[in-house]
Structure 1
Amino acid sequence: MNRLTTSWGTFPLTRHPVDPRDPLRAWDAADEYLLGHLAETGTDLSGTVVAVGDRWGALVTALAAAGAGASGELVQISDSYLGRTATAENLARSGAAPGAVRLLTTQDPPPERVDVLLVRVPKSLALLEDQLHRLAPAVHEGTVIVGTGMVKEIHTSTLNLFETILGPTRTSLAVKKARLIHTTPAPERTPDANPWPYAYALPGDAPAGLAGRTVVNEAGVFCADRLDIGTRFLLQHLPTGLGAARVVDLGCGNGVVGLAVALAEPDAELLFTDESYQAVASAEANFRTHAGQDRKADFRVGDGLADAAPGSVDLVLNNPPFHSHQATTDRTARRMFADARRALRPGGELWVVGNRHLGYHVTLRRIFGNSELVAGDPKFVILRAVKR
């Protein structure tokens, strides 16, 4: 287990779920830079301290030990179920008192007043934009605003968002390939309206009965302004004749795949699941708009199918991610496939779409003992694995 050393103590931190073979730490140089800056400058942390995008809880775990929020509260805002779970585990492991940190999701109302705003720059510029807009009304003239990220994560467009929405912004020198973002609040500013959630019409040639339908995406959801080509390819080859099958849109994003099944298969029962609160909110909004308020479906934010009852589903449809923040990894896909196999009934099927070069057929054969090519083009393949 890796340990983060700060001015307020040393903390054993892990990602979630814990995997001793995972070489990735639960923090990086950007987190260290920000925590070091707060300690060195003696920033007053007694008021309401809000950490946005704290990926695995490194920031709030250290800040809880520093006594942050003593006369206000210490708040984490996250879009990630896995990140929030890791935060709770890391806080408990560090000995933090129960309730020392209020864990909010990106779908929850933010605090009404923020005295220290700490922003870990996310991979999604849209998610950053949305969160800064949502937090701007809580910022006052005395608010300390500091962002952090690796150099490759901070661009001119990133700084423009801080500048336009919150106030004059500058960056620090780079340390260990990380930078800080310093913003002076200008509460008198009136930024443009928050453009999120974003609505767009699916193209006229969209497959599976989706042509021309308008869908909404919350900020940060993959391909927020268009139908991504991998999903489009899967939609062209969905299984049919499902009857009353229990169907899972695993890693659902905005739920377009599950919605297509619901429209084509009126007796199918749908489960939409994703670890992103923004994604599941988008999927539910789209489903209710196009499939109706009375159509039965479940919407779950969680760790994929990790908590699903064994043998409880008939079909799993999956377009797995192959990035964890900036790191390229197939760890998430492997876990999704293994959890899908456990949740499927005997004879149940997992259908996966992925970039051809990822070699998912090898992983599926290792987990299921079989893998069949359903369709392919120069970029993508759709694979089918059956639980024997």
Structure 2
Amino acid sequence: MKTELILHDRTLTLSRFPKRANETLQAWDAGDEYLINHVEEMALPAGQNILILNDHFGALSCWFSAQHNVTMMSDSFISHKGTLRNLQRNKCPKIQFLNCLQEIPQQVDLVLMQLPKSNRLLTWQLSQLRNSLSENCSIIGVNKAKEIHTSTLNLFEKYLGETKTSLAWKKHRLVFSQANCHPITPVPAECEWQVDNEDIVLSNYANVYSGESLDLGARFMLEHIPVDEELRHIIDLGCGNGVLSIKAGQLNPQARITSIDESFMAVASAQKNLEKNLGPDRNIQVIANNCLDGMKDNSSYLILCNPPFHQNNTITDHIAWQMFCDAKDALNHNGKLLVVGNRHLEYPTKLSRLFGHQQVTIVAENNKFVIIEAIKNNDLNKKPNIK
């Protein structure tokens, strides 16, 4: 796998986070290269204040920190960690890190952005830029050309300002905009709704997965969360807005709840929702993290998991596998991992390799989803080497 980005007689060594053996994916894409080439042609004077939105693993932050004051804003804990590691690897100057719920800095000279996968997050970011930037500040976005639709440009025009696009290069296209639309269209920070047939009300920030309605996998999982008065600690891994945590807490009031997600907006939503639905006195902890990094082994009785199958715009299953491996470490002897996933992902086969065939059962299934239970047995061999 290529790890050296070479442009304009400079070389950066870049890796994805977390680092995997036999990595097959690059830490940057042609969109990063397109932005770098374009800005280099602009011949900016040194010391510009550059705001970089949604930098995947720090290629843009590393490149521009050499001569400019960089602020990197992202909703992804993994992107923050990956960017920091790459800055350190290349001995780059320090930059400022912000998540997407924090305020945009004052006196920004240039904004560079990788367009996010979620239109809700894009809309939120455009509205925040419009409210914070001067009209003479340029905003340059990039994405795969096939992902920049007329509707995408309409969002820029409505929530940010005058917008045009570049020619395509290596299947990517630049979007040029200014913060000058009138009138300014307000965008609410949260979307709130009641879960059908449940005593649960959810608030969702812009980048929460399925933030405008409950996704079908989570809805199916709600029907199969166990009730057990012996449960003392439940982990919701990839918690999103916290709906599974809330239901587990309602069914098991004696249990301590730990909710974990790599999205800062998901964590903020889950924190608010758990307190709202379970009450302020419940023993809950909500953490932004890369899977279960740093979690004590043999510390949980039940782990709930509704895994993602993409990272940024890349379809991948390695996050699910890390979740499963981390979950096995974190579970007590006879502790249970409960996973919901699309049927075609073949999670039962993979979990059988990890936990042992006799330890994995299908709890429920319908025409789209399957719920699998995997029980940890410390008497079995250690986990195999799974990619």
How far apart are 1:111 and its partner, in Å?
0.6
How far apart are 1:45 and its partner, in Å?
5.6
Number of aligned residue pairs: give it: 374
Q: 1:171 aligns with which of 131, 142, 165?
A: 165
Percent identity of the aligned residues? Answer: 38
So what's the TM-score if we normalise by structure 2? 0.93
Q: In 1, distance between residues paired with 2:229 and 2:26?
A: 42
Q: 1:253 aligns with which of 240, 251, 265?
A: 240
Residue of structure 2 equivalent to 1:352 = 339
Q: In 2, distance between residues paired with 1:22 and 1:41?
A: 34
Q: 1:202 aligns with which of 195, 204, 207?
A: 195
In the alignment, structure 1 residue 322 sits paired with structure 2 residue 322: no
1:232-381 mapped onto 2 (5 Å cutoff): 232-369=219-356, 370-381=359-370
Residue of structure 2 equivalent to 1:122 = 116
In the alignment, structure 1 residue 85 sits paired with structure 2 residue 81: yes
Contact 1:159 1:169 (C-alpha < 8 Å) held by counterparts: yes
Contact 1:112 1:137 (C-alpha < 8 Å) held by counterparts: no
In the alignment, structure 1 residue 107 sits paired with structure 2 residue 121: no
Q: In 2, distance between residues paired with 1:248 and 1:242?
A: 16
Contact 1:121 1:153 (C-alpha < 8 Å) held by counterparts: no
**Structure 1 SS opposite 2:135:** strand
How far apart are 1:138 and its partner, in Å?
2.3
Q: In 2, distance between residues paired with 1:332 and 1:311?
A: 21
1:91-134 CA distance string (max 9 Å, x none): 0111113xx21011112222123210111101001111111222
1:170-221 CA distance string (max 9 Å, x none): 00010000000011331x7332111331111222x3xxxx24x321111111
In the alignment, structure 1 residue 95 sits paired with structure 2 residue 91: yes
Residue of structure 2 equivalent to 1:191 = 184
Please tell me the residue identity of whatever aligns with 1:189: H
Gaps of 5+ in 2: 378-387
1:212-245 CA distance string (max 9 Å, x none): x321111111111101110010111111124442
How far apart are 1:42 and its partner, in Å?
1.5
- CA 1:43 to 1:260, structure 2 compared with 1: closer, same or farther past 3 Å? same
In the alignment, structure 1 residue 136 sits paired with structure 2 residue 130: yes
Residue of structure 1 equivalent to 2:372 = 383
Q: In 2, distance between residues paired with 1:316 and 1:242?
A: 16
Contact 1:6 1:62 (C-alpha < 8 Å) held by counterparts: no
**Structure 1 SS opposite 2:324:** helix
1:55-91 CA distance string (max 9 Å, x none): 11110111112x012xxxx100011111110000000
Q: In 1, distance between residues paired with 2:350 and 2:290?
A: 20
Contact 1:45 1:116 (C-alpha < 8 Å) held by counterparts: no
Please tell me the residue identity of whatever aligns with 2:34: Y
Q: In 1, distance between residues paired with 2:266 and 2:126?
A: 19
Q: In 1, distance between residues paired with 2:154 and 2:113?
A: 14
Please tell me the residue identity of whatever aligns with 2:309: F
How far apart are 1:324 and its partner, in Å?
1.7
Q: In 1, distance between residues paired with 2:100 and 2:229?
A: 35
1:360-382 CA distance string (max 9 Å, x none): 01111111113111001111110
Please tell me the residue identity of whatever aligns with 1:338: C
**Structure 1 SS opposite 2:362:** strand
So what's the TM-score if we normalise by structure 1? 0.93
Residue of structure 2 equivalent to 1:22 = 23
1:247-267 CA distance string (max 9 Å, x none): 001000000001001112111
RMSD: 1.4
Q: In 1, distance between residues paired with 2:45 and 2:208?
A: 35
Q: In 2, distance between residues paired with 1:227 and 1:43?
A: 46
